[in-house]
Chain A
Amino acid sequence: MEKSSRRGFMGKAFGAVAGVGAIGSLVAMKKSWDPLPSVAAAGFTEIDLSPIEENKLVVDKWRGKPIFVLKKTAEMVAEQDEAESARDVVVNGSHYMITIGLCTHLGCIPAYRPGKHNFLCACHGGEFNASGIEIKSPPPSPLVIPPFKIVGSTVLLGEEGPEYQKMKADGVVA
């Protein structure tokens, strides 16, 4: 009886030591898989909007992801509804769609069809309009607008400017 309770104590002691060790190692293992600081700090991208032509998609890169910049024609702006206009980035009177160029379904890059003014994702057939709003399933949400700041005729991606914060306040971006 005395022996078995002593063994019981040793068992519990080992359990406690192993438990603390297990939790500690899980924390270390989780942290080891986190993006490295150099990756997380991966900088900002500046895009000069002045040379961009209307209805011609420009693809840049921010944090390894493709960025779509589409300058809309006056016709396209005239035709669009409020929800679409709310997503426009307006610089010097011109309307731009600026989004991360990854389909919100599973992350393929949709292709722009200038004739139809929309995007088609080849992976699963999803479509987005020229404002990046999904118009055909399976994508569940619009193309994501990255944090941006307007500086003169350029946009700086990675920093939240007042226009981006307004979109945030209006619920256009999450």
Chain B
Amino acid sequence: MAHFEKATSIKDWLNQRLALDKVEKVMASEYWIPKNINFLWAMGMVLAITFTLLLVSGIFLLMYYQPNVDTAFDSVNYTIMQEVGFGWLWRHIHAVAASVVFLIIYIHMLTGIYYGSYKKGREMIWISGMLLFVTFSAEAFSGYMLPWGQMSYWAGMVITNLFSAGSLELNGVVEWIRGDYVPGQAFLNRFFMLHVLLLPLAIIALIGIHFAALRIPHVNNQDGEEIDFEVESKKYLEGDKAGSKVIRFANDFMSKDMFVVSVFLMFFFYLTFWNYGFAMDPVNFDPANGLVTPAHIYPEWYFLWSYEILRPFGKDVGLIAFAIAQVIFFALPFMDRSQNVAPANRRGLFGIWFWAMVVDLIVLTAMGKLPPEEPYSTIGKIAAYLFFVLWIALPFITKSEKKL
């Protein structure tokens, strides 16, 4: 048995049993962050805070929501919105956070792409992050079903139909996923389970993996400089704080992180209180009706770019294109053949590739929102083609990139 001494304080008592000091060092005061970074490096913390907002508001919604096709709509739109004290607040926080979390995820991803933070030892950070993105997408979709409005029902119908795999006509698979011929009680119940239990568990586990993946390669910096964290942290601990290239995670870097979080929260609550409409589709304020399709079915803004890749093609090609678009970003660390870890603007053609990709995603998003008419269909089709051309070009342009 390990040796224990009579404790001199409560802290000492805990320390002997749980090694609190050591944990604090490993997790915070001796977890080293480069100095050469900007506010974009705070997006991870912003995401952690947004996830917490979703979790807390979700807990309160869960106390009144009823996962039943006859009562779900009213439990949200009447009970929570009108009867429960501050019920509207939880709903608006939940809806706005579900939308804004994707804005931050996209900024977080594009930051990673711009600075090359996905390669040379950082591949697992990227891959675990992509898994988080996919799980968040499933979480957003399953949550969208729950108010059981027209958009819930028809988005559920359209998305589950994707699993018939086009001409393969795997209707049995679709019916298995739904537990019915059409979205019904079984469907609502199982998506409720996914939304409040299985997917949040997966997200929490993946967040743990995502953080763990950072420990060994460490956080990237604005110049993609390879920092010797042993040497720099030693310099810091010996007192040369100015000469060291790193600072402590807490409280030093955290103070900057939390400042960005404060700015974000002001923006977030501005939206929650005064401008929540964008996160609440008016069509979803009609109860689900299996016999009336809404005039124009479109997903939430964050799925529009991939929806637009599905739209301009025939059924099978569209499905294949859509499936590739969903997973292609996983391959980024392996499609980028260059050894350079540097901001895109110093990487020649890759800089152009990056901005072309950003513009293309924005165009796809805009076209996805517009009705399937000319000239939008053609613009969307060109943007969808460009998306694939860019990915095919990536290994070639990065292979010929000059070593920096």
Contact = CB atoms under 8 A, between A and B. Distances in A.
Contacts of A111: 293
B313 to A, nearest CB: 7
A145 to B, nearest CB: 14
Interface string A131-174: 00000011111000000000000000000000000000000001
A174 B292 CA distance: 26
B175 interface: yes
Contact of A64 (B177, B182, B311): B182
Nearest to B307: A124
**Which range contains the number of B residues in contact with the other chain?**
35 or more
Q: Most chain-A CB neighbours within 10 Å: which of B154, B293, B313? A: B293
A134 B377 CA distance: 19
B373 interface: yes
B8 interface: no
A104 B177 CA distance: 18
Contacts, number: 85
B290 interface: yes
Given A33-B176, A124-B311, A109 B186 contact: no
Interface stretch (A2-10, A18-26, A35-43, A79-87): A35-43
B181 A138 contact: no
Interface in A30-57: 30, 33-36, 39, 42
Contact of A108 (B293, B313, B373): B293
A64 B180 contact: yes
Nearest to B182: A64
Contacts of B372: 123-125
Given A65-B290, A108-B158, A36 B186 contact: yes
- Interface of chain A, helix or strand or loop or mixed? loop
B295 A122 contact: yes
Contact of A33 (B157, B177, B290): B177
A35 B315 contact: no
A13 to B, nearest CB: 29
A144 to B, nearest CB: 10
Contact of A61 (B290, B295, B371): B290
B161 A107 contact: yes
A32 to B, nearest CB: 9
A123 B291 CA distance: 15
Contacts of B59: none
A66 B179 contact: no
Nearest to A109: B293
A26 B178 CA distance: 18
Nearest to A63: B181
Given A64-B184, A123-B293, A35 B179 contact: yes
B166 interface: yes
B346 interface: no
Contacts of A90: none
A76 interface: no
Top 10 A-B residue pairs of the complex, sorted by shortest distance between their CB atoms? A64-B182, A125-B372, A109-B293, A140-B315, A107-B161, A106-B158, A63-B181, A108-B293, A107-B157, A106-B161
23 contacts: A30-B176, A33-B179, A34-B179, A36-B179, A39-B180, A39-B181, A39-B184, A42-B181, A61-B290, A64-B180, A64-B181, A64-B182, A64-B290, A66-B290, A107-B157, A109-B292, A122-B371, A123-B297, A125-B372, A138-B315, A140-B166, A140-B167, A174-B169
Interface of A: 30, 33-36, 39, 42, 59, 61, 63-66, 104-109, 111, 122-125, 137-141, 174
Given A104-B315, A106-B161, 13 more contacts: A35-B175, A35-B181, A39-B186, A61-B290, A63-B182, A66-B291, A107-B158, A109-B292, A123-B158, A125-B377, A138-B313, A139-B315, A140-B315
